Structure 1
Amino acid sequence: MTVPASHPALIRARPAAPSARTVITTLLGTTLLIKACGFAYDFLGYYIGDAHGTTAAGAALTVFGVGWCVGQLASGAVTDRLGARTACSIGLLLAAVVCAGLAAADTLPSLLLLAFCLGCTMDVSRPALSAEINDRVTSEGARTRAQGWLYWVSNVGVSLSGGVGGYFAHQHGYRALFVANGVACVAAAVLARRVLSGRPSPVRAGREHRFYAQMLADTPLRWMVAAAIGAMVCAYGLVSVLPLVMNADGLPPSAYGTAMIANTVAVLVLSPPLTRFLVGRGDRVRYSVAPVLAVGSLTLGAAMGLAALQHTTLGYSTAAVAMVPGEVCYSVAIGAYLATAAPPGAIGRYQAALSGAGAIASLTPLGIAFALNTGGRPLVAGLLAASAALAALACVPLSRSLRTSAPPRPAAEPVQAQH
């Protein structure tokens, strides 16, 4: 008997597409891998400071921040144009090459060039992963939780990187850390190729693309970026200011590792209940963006101001723990903004703009090093507190502009996942 070609037994079964929950869980795991092995940035200041002095370390971190701005803008545009997979995988492979270069370089000019290239590539995954989350999740509450968990995982990874890397560097040196960072970037690029979308989703592809020049007309985005810069000057002090002041105290990398482990434990313990309190379990976000961001900014400023005045491992660890509520508030506020106010056709660019705010904030280490050498720790603490206060003040017009702007809503319904 002839079996028709359409017989079910002759039709090759297609593998089921991974669920949104599976994809987002994988994205969170990929983020954790990238950040937990992000030794190159965490120990760039220590590495260059030991060989060339505190001012050279501050200059390298500042150059890194310039590259970070460039990399975020490029990654956001590539994500919206060519898809998350292309932006993420290419950027991570380039980051692996830069890490290998850091392991081999020793002259200050070559290290400064590599610091710029590292900034261009190390955080390119952020816009791509945020865009993928907004493509996969429909409700505002679930999006905010997913975006918030992305920041939470990043914080955990950064703290783990500092903690584990500090002890490892004390025993084996910094070059081995840079090689491990490069290997992790290659592994993350492979995961990105398997999980992320190859092209922009129909929701984003069907929308008119927004260029960065057009985004300048978005008043809430302008105030959001302004507030984010002020807050991130304090938040990124954990991996930029803290190594500078601890190095000035003559404390070894293992002391920095202890402070970062304390931050990690606090993040693991405090983030879940604080996130549930701020976001809730429904489809809508419980609190508006501006007040949450203001509280987070002031908390970060107070904690980093405290850190600048310390001289012991215990004191630095206490300040690192005190930062955590501010970190959670900031991550929830950013996640809520992306979930409720970013247009579907420009998620990558909007995330890039907010990540770029962090990059601009990372330009401060050279100024912090100068302030440390001229005005001492009280001046550093005052500058950090002032930055936090300016961020909180920017939240006032941000709140007003968010109330008067109607947030765009997705036109299509992608696969829904609850988190």
Structure 2
Amino acid sequence: MVITALLATTFLVKACGFAYDFLGYSISAAHGTTAAGAALTLFGVGWCVGQLASGAMTDRLGARSACTIGLLLAAAVCAGLTVASGLNTLMLLAFCLGCTMDVHRPAVSAQINERLTNDGARTRAQGWVYWVSNVGISLSGGVGGFVAQAHGYRFLFALNAVASVAAALLVRRTLTGRRAAPRAEQAHVTYAQIISDARLRWMVAAAIAATTCAYGLISVLPLVMSADGLAPSAYGTAMLANSAAVLLLSPPLTRLLVGRDDRVRYPIGPVLAAGSLILGAAMALAALQHTIVGYATAAVLMVPGEICYSVAAGAFVATAAPAGAIGRYQAALSVAGAIASLTPLAVAGALTAGGRPLVAGLLVASAVLGALACVPLSRTLRTADTADTAEPAGHRPVPY
């Protein structure tokens, strides 16, 4: 019941996450593409800050408190977007939105790992979180594009605020107030200690490169489509195409990657590397398009890469994070996505300096760097597996 409620909360937040999806479109329409890129970059900075704070809050205060506080703050920021018009105010709100919009993610991950003791079950549940997130993001962009064209961006931001309040109430009703881990464990776990885990360092490096391409769907795509003069409904069409592909391709591809025991059939490193390369190729193709059909096709082609990344990231969190630090391990991966979201200003600059070929080249380079980072990642994971095998039964070593 609790896991189902957490998945429902994740889906609600992502499916109604109109503020991030259309913040760039809204600011671009009023203040230009460069201002939109700057606002989305500030969102990414806020995302980094918010994820680090949320991970620490989850491990110290518990998932219920961290999730509720963050979602209510997100609702307040979205409400502010419904009335703000000045560029400086919008920039401040973009930063605050980043701090709060994805604050639930470390808490959800921590609850899954706390309540499920089997690594296979954890991997399956973490994979479901990434899956519902992908579907929700696609639906948000798809439905939101048509709603924005009919009712405007401020109406979308108001819907986002209402959904955040509803999600906070759902979390408050479903989760208990207990801490994510005993205080004795929490007292000895810090971000400095977490960073000492070589597995996490290489995982974050690979994730930054891969998600730079993945988040192009909601950062690069709006900018290049705006430059083509396409309406928000065109962006909605591309996102709906991505959502449909996620729904159709996730079951067979997940069965290919995950065995009957809910464990990944292949090593995490190669799966993540394949996902990074697919995402880079698809988004590079998107950067070179000028038609709705072209953008929609690229959005569909990136789906196998999204699935590979989701499976690899879910398996990593489920098996690598020690007790008392689950929230911060997930926060570290979320920060990787936040860092990747800092690209809009660079994309806007690249469009001005070298046009779409330069943007495409940068996306491909990022994908290749992500695949290369998977080589040392695989090596550190094999070393850790060897150490685990050498430990007495029932002992799970902490990697710092």
TM-score, scaled to structure 2: 0.95
Task: Look up the match of 1:397.
Answer: 376
Task: Look up the match of 1:49.
Answer: 28
Q: CA deviation at 1:201?
A: 4.3
Matched, 1:359 2:312: no
What is the DSSP-based 3-state SS (H/G/I as helix, E as strand, rest coil) of the residue aligned with 1:43?
helix
Q: Distance in 1 between matches of 2:249 and 2:395?
A: 36
Task: Look up the match of 1:39.
Answer: 18
Say if 2:141 and 2:236, in contact at 8 Å, map to a contact too.
yes
Identical counterparts, % of pairs:
74
Superimposed CA distance per residue, residues 27-81 of structure 1 (whole angstroms, 9 cap, x where no aligned partner): 1111111001000000000000000000000000000000000000000000000
Q: Distance in 2 between matches of 1:75 and 1:396?
A: 30
Say if 2:181 and 2:324, in contact at 8 Å, map to a contact too.
no
Matched, 1:314 2:293: yes
Q: Distance in 2 between matches of 1:70 and 1:286?
A: 35
Q: 1:48 to 1:202 in 2, by over 3 A?
A: closer
Residue-pair matches, total: 391
Matched, 1:65 2:6: no
Matched, 1:349 2:328: yes
Say if 1:209 and 1:346, in contact at 8 Å, map to a contact too.
no
Matched, 1:103 2:82: yes
Q: CA deviation at 1:334?
A: 0.5
Say if 2:23 and 2:40, in contact at 8 Å, map to a contact too.
yes
Matched, 1:76 2:49: no
> What is the one-letter code of the residue matched to 2:219?
S
Q: After superposition, where does 1:16-415 map in structure 2 within 5 Å?
A: 22-201=1-180, 206=185, 209-282=188-261, 284-405=263-384, 406=387
Q: CA deviation at 1:348?
A: 0.1
Mean Cα deviation higher: 117-126 or 209-218: 209-218
TM-score, scaled to structure 1: 0.91
Say if 1:80 and 1:204, in contact at 8 Å, map to a contact too.
no
Q: Which runs of 5+ in 2 are unaligned?
A: none
Say if 2:206 and 2:373, in contact at 8 Å, map to a contact too.
yes
What is the DSSP-based 3-state SS (H/G/I as helix, E as strand, rest coil) of the residue aligned with 2:261?
coil
Superimposed CA distance per residue, residues 246-265 of structure 1 (whole angstroms, 9 cap, x where no aligned partner): 00000000000000000000
What is the DSSP-based 3-state SS (H/G/I as helix, E as strand, rest coil) of the residue aligned with 2:82?
helix
Q: Distance in 2 between matches of 1:321 and 1:103?
A: 32
Q: 1:23 to 1:109 in 2, by over 3 A?
A: same
> What is the one-letter code of the residue matched to 1:250?
G
User: Rg: which structure is higher?
Assistant: 1
Q: Which runs of 5+ in 1 are unaligned?
A: 1-21, 413-419
Say if 1:225 and 1:353, in contact at 8 Å, map to a contact too.
yes
> What is the one-letter code of the residue matched to 1:211?
T
Superimposed CA distance per residue, residues 95-143 of structure 1 (whole angstroms, 9 cap, x where no aligned partner): 0000010010001000000000000000000000000011111222211
